[in-house]
Structure 1
Amino acid sequence: MPITAILTDIEGTTSAVSFVFDTLFPYAAEHLPDFVRTRGDDPEVARQLDAVRADIGEPQADRERVIEVLLGWIAEDRKATPLKALQGMVWAEGYSAGRLKGHVYPDAVEALRRWKAEDYDLYVYSSGSIQAQRLIFGCSEAGDLSPLFSGYFDTTSGPKRDAASYRRIAEAIGQPPSTLLFLSDVVEELDAARDAGLRTCGLARQGGDLPGHPCVASFGAIDPAAF
């Protein structure tokens, strides 16, 4: 069956890892404490703070303790859903104020626009929250890329190294797994997607390979019709 939709990772795939680690994470670490202190009573913020308390088994933890935990999670790049949600809220304010612009590789921008024009449905699956994904593409250095995408998926669909997550995504998209092409720079993610029946292509922008999968150095080398 031909490819009808493309599902892409962000970090290391459409966007530089350095953007996340050198720009987004430090911005969140700097601004998250005051955000929690001043916005902690907002219903959605409060819900995420309670989720942190539940994760650490400290239901009575005060805000300063929760802030301490969150900063620790940022430092270790923990894939915790409440952290990702709160980071997304902090980044939203930064993007809105013009202090942040999402990095997307030019070759990715060109290919995504071409694929959309060729009637491929485009989706994102990243460990960052859906809100954070929308911000990277909606407030990118190349302008608003959000009209290119038909949907976004994050860790609420499951871990990225778990085949069941990709089966859930295929079901949500409403297409057979074999018609979806997944792009990532992480071999364990590619393995999981392949095990779920998706086609795969690895991005190795600095060279090398991702064993068991077709591998390219840029989006410009990907022809979805060839899979």
Structure 2
Amino acid sequence: MIKAILTDIEGTITRISFVKDVLFPYAAEHLPAFVRQNESDELVKAQLDAVRHEIARPTANLDIVIDNLLSWIKEDLKVTPLKQLQGLVWQTGYQQGHFTGHIYPDAYQFLQQQHQAGTKLYVYSSGSVKAQQLLFAHSDYGDIRPLFTDYFDTKVGHKQSSSSYQNIINQIPFESHEVLFLSDVVEELDAAKQAGMQTLQLWRDNQSQSQKHPFIASFEQFDSERI
């Protein structure tokens, strides 16, 4: 019996193009100025130091740090300090109304229904928890953060590692077989299954498809008894 749902964001409940065509370009354009203006802020400074640690250059100047951040954005690398800084930049964009967080209509309806039915909803995304909460706070449907019980990002581990999903299980009050993981990425589903979770793939946005896991093309097709 499914008692909790752990969901990915990109390609699952929001379109991939929103991140790639809206959020990433916005961060790339505004991140250098944001970092220069806020480098003395303790939260920002901690992430800049984390970048220096990541590139093994503890004395790297700000130009080098920014160049690496922009390179990671271009390469779409899931580096934790980059994700943290992107979240801070996106906060400004959301608050100033430059964009709202895209949510598929069928996903919004599904999340609402599951929440009302008493199923606990959790989020696991490579984007930082801050970025996740910003998207949901400023979504196309308003502030939908109350739907979710908790959020996880790469601080628990890489999304294609089974140990990451075990780390999540250790932090929530459910057994692994009671949790359904939703994602469009086969390797993530494989890792979750190895950790004992139930899985369901979303076939959206021309992502790679596999019949190794149960799958649907829309949440309108969701049937818990067929998983």
TM-score bracket relative to the smaller structure: over 0.9
Deviation at 1:223, TM superposition (A): 2.5
**Could you tell me how far apart the structure 2 residues matched to 1:102 and 1:177 are?**
30
1:31-76 Cα shifts (integer Å, max 9, x gaps): 0000000001000100000000011011111111111110000000
Query: Is the 1:129–1:154 Cα contact (8 Å) retained in structure 2?
Result: yes
Measure how far apart 1:14 and its partner are: 0.5
Structure 1: any 5+ residue segments left out of the alignment? none
1:212 match = 212
Q: Deviation digits for residues 102-154 of structure 1, max 9, x if unmatched?
A: 00100000000000010000000000000000111110011111010000000
Contact map agreement 1:186 1:210 (CA 8 A) in 2: no
Query: Is 1:110 matched with 2:109?
Result: yes
* AA at the equivalent of 2:31: L
What letter matches 2:187 in structure 1? E
Residue identity matched to 2:40 = D
Equivalent position of 1:166 in the other structure: 165
Aligned to 1:201, the other structure's residue is in SS state strand
Residue ranges of structure 2 left out of the alignment (5+ in a row): none
Distance in 2 (alpha carbons) for counterparts of 1:192 and 1:224:
21
Q: d(CA) in 2 for partners of 1:79 and 1:206?
A: 20
1:223 and 1:168 mapped to 2: Cα distance?
A: 27
Partners of 1:117 and 1:226 lie apart in 2 by: 21
CA root-mean-square deviation: 1.1
Q: 2:54, 2:184 → 1: CA distance? A: 29
Of 116-125 and 200-209, more deviation after overlay is shown by 200-209
Aligned match of 1:57? 56
Question: Is 2:27 the partner of 1:25?
Answer: no
User: What is the TM-score when the length of structure 2 is the normalising length?
Assistant: 0.97
**Could you tell me which residue of structure 2 aligns to residue 194 of structure 1?**
193
Matches of 1:138 and 1:223, distance apart in 2: 28
Structure 2 CA distance for aligned equivalents of residues 36 and 134 of structure 1? 21
CA distance in 2, matches of 1:23, 1:34: 18
